[in-house]
Chain A
Amino acid sequence: MSITVTEKAARHIQKTLDKRGKGFGLRLAVKTSGCSGMAYALEFADESLPEDLVFECAGVRLLVDPRSLPYLDGTELDFVREGLNEGFKFNNPNAKAECGCGESFAV
């Protein structure tokens, strides 16, 4: 059971947390919606919930709820720049197919 972040992603998460001024860590979750069945959610976390699993990687805390974990196990969170657009990308070994728009995936 592991979730990791790349160095670049960690740097960016730290920077945005600093700018925000507060925050316990980053919450990664999976929601059932979107055209291929499931979609990622990425939120700041101000506190951890009792059932959360907390991973520490490259100095940032990643919170995952137990229902999302099976879909996210082994995921590496990356921060990339594509043209004018930059943002986070989930490198998820569980995802078998993605929808055309790329916002959701199936396992």
Chain B
Amino acid sequence: MALLQIAEPGLAAAPHQHRLAVGIDLGTTNSLVATVASGLAKALPDADGHALLPSVVRYTEGALIVGREARAGQADDPHNTIASVKRLMGRSLADADETMRSHYQLSDGPGMVGIETRAGRKTPVEVSADILRALRERAEASLGGELTGAVITVPAYFDDAQRQATKDAARIAGLNVLRLLNEPTAAAIAYGLDNAAEGTYAVYDLGGGTFDISILKLTRGVFEVLATNGDPALGGDDFDQRLAVWLKAQAGLPAELPIEDERRILALARSTKESLSAVEQTLASVTLGDGQVIRVAVTRAQFIELTAELVSRSLRPVRKALRDAGLGPEDIKGVVMVGGSTRMPHVQSAVAALFGTAPLNNLDPDQVVALGAAMQADVLAGNRKSGSEADWLLLDVCPLSLGLETMGGLVEKIVPRNSTIPTARAQDFTTYKDGQTAMSVHVVQGEREIVSECRSLARFTLRGIPPMVAGAARIRVTFQIDADGLLSVTAREQTSGVEAHVEVKPSYGLGDGEVARMLLDAYGTGEIDAATRMLREAQVEARRLIDATEAALAADGAALLSPPERDIVQKAIFALAELLETDEGDTRKIRAATDALNTASGDFAARRMDASIKRALAGRSLETI
């Protein structure tokens, strides 16, 4: 109980207004909203007592249906009933999910794919906004007031474009986004605070459509994400698909059915899967559109056999994440299970076998993410006082390395992958040519060493560098990433103070598949990259030497060299320049020619040094030196 002080008449401090803040888990299959009331996080159910809102939106003539009712109508009105829209967030038509393409009429639009419905073209952002609005209305009805803000969770794999799309959807739905939070981090918050657990944990999140694995370190209430990995196209839906295909085969149905029947079989597969988590065998039955009745008996063993490959597929990213974090399975103190699909017994046992420990599952795996988000929202809305035991800090990581282009099209990484954010990192660069007054800064994202293989984020130019000899200017480039993962880059010339700055506005289009591809690319092509880097470095060095020698010849060549000596240096320059122009790409040859030029101009350089010392000393007595 807080202690009270006596106030002057009429001035009693208004007891703090509780700011209504919620956590929202915007899932591929289901979404839900939770809040903290009287210090406890709990999910807010709808009028019928269901906490989960199916992430399905149905567009009918002039009306909009969201959730359970929309899902029920999926089979009757497949083209206007949008499910799993999260798979399309921040994507263009080109990188849209194959399954989504077969289910909906997709069209390309500026920045993002669109879905053709009876109510017109809907972007994934708008469909998500309709789901979020339903959750906001539910929360406001049950809490009795307007929401101050919400924390919305996103898969750890979501890139800037997908996060931005999620934020846009929330804004359209009339929500103030306090923060986007990685789903596994939210789950860890729910477990970390409720159970006061410390140590290194893994969060295994097998949702409806996505799989995420995160390695988190919890120490004294501080959460740090050590590594994230995952499979953007693996989830409970895939288990349903496998079972549906098998059910069709067992029932002697053709592989291709009318879309309404496909949906019926898929719904049957889902309910069969769910019941097999509790019982050893079940009878799956459904009536098709033409009145045909399907009856298939399924045992848990059969289901496990059908889907074992999916479970083992999920273990690959787990091992990768462990490797990224520099840990072995034995270093993990516990595994948090998230997502309804982790209820499947064979998923539980596979995870237990890998880590050698029974997974944590004492919170509802469907709700744990929303509960953690609600706790974070409660803190961010200012409902908990600083200094209390719940005053915790949250650290997150950036999914891909950030860097900039240097001479020769190479990438200099400034912020390595998995750096905790918010962060600021700086590195000094210099000019490449004498008298260079401008520098172009090209910000890239990715793991490769070559610019053309990374994703370009932004370009800007720093102008007004005072003319100096090459290498004398000191240009400090600072990368700053805020808590939402948004990047700003500043370049500043240290001696003159000239500065240029850019806010990186993420554009839609880089799918998580592309993130995954870029990561895989980097793993597989390390050697090629290293060779390319050596070649480019040799080329840059050669050009720098040519420039410097030519400048020196122009200044002192006539005074210090005899015509034959001069000729030798000129020839060496010519030989090297020719080699560069023919673009042979032979690192060894370029190095040899560079060395030849160095040798040829060695005497000249020594003479220049002597001459400049003589000039400096001329007319001065020994004592004054």
Contact = CB atoms under 8 A, between A and B. Distances in A.
A89 B1 contact: yes
Interface residues of B, number: 25
Given A13-B6, A80-B3, A102-B2, A35 B12 contact: no
A98 B1 contact: yes
B10 to A, nearest CB: 7
Interface residues of A, number: 34
A9 to B, nearest CB: 10
A13 B4 CA distance: 12
Interface string A79-107: 01010011111100000011111111000
B597 to A, nearest CB: 74
A69 B9 CA distance: 18
B19 to A, nearest CB: 9
Contact of B384 (A33, A43, A101): A101
Interface in B381-414: 383-385
B4 A89 contact: yes
Contacts of B11: 43
Contact of B4 (A31, A45, A90): A90
Contacts of B292: none
A3 interface: no
Q: State the majority secondary structure of interface residues on B.
A: loop
Given A36-B38, A100-B38, A46 B9 contact: yes
Given A35-B37, A101-B384, A101-B385, A44 B16 contact: no
A16 B6 contact: yes
B9 A27 contact: yes
A36 B384 CA distance: 14
A6 to B, nearest CB: 14
Contacts of B12: 29, 31, 41-43
Chain B CB within 10 Å, residue with most, of A80, A85, A104:
A104
B6 A101 contact: no
A87 B39 CA distance: 23
Contacts of B17: 33-34
A43 B38 contact: no
Given A101-B383, A102-B1, A43 B39 contact: no
B4 A87 contact: yes
A64 interface: no
Given A31-B15, A101-B383, A44 B1 contact: no
B61 interface: no
Contacts of A5: none
Given A42-B12, A101-B383, A101-B384, A88 B4 contact: yes
A43 to B, nearest CB: 5
Nearest to B3: A87
Contacts of B10: 43
Contacts of A45: 9
A89 B5 CA distance: 9
Interface in A9-53: 13, 16, 26-27, 29, 31, 33-36, 39-46
Interface in B271-304: none
Contacts of A102: 1-2
A16 B1 CA distance: 22
B18 interface: yes
Contacts of A90: 1, 4
A42 B6 CA distance: 5
Contact of A88 (B6, B37, B39, B383): B6
Interface of A: 13, 16, 26-27, 29, 31, 33-36, 39-46, 80, 82, 85-90, 97-104
8 contacts: A33-B15, A34-B17, A35-B383, A42-B12, A43-B6, A85-B3, A88-B6, A101-B16
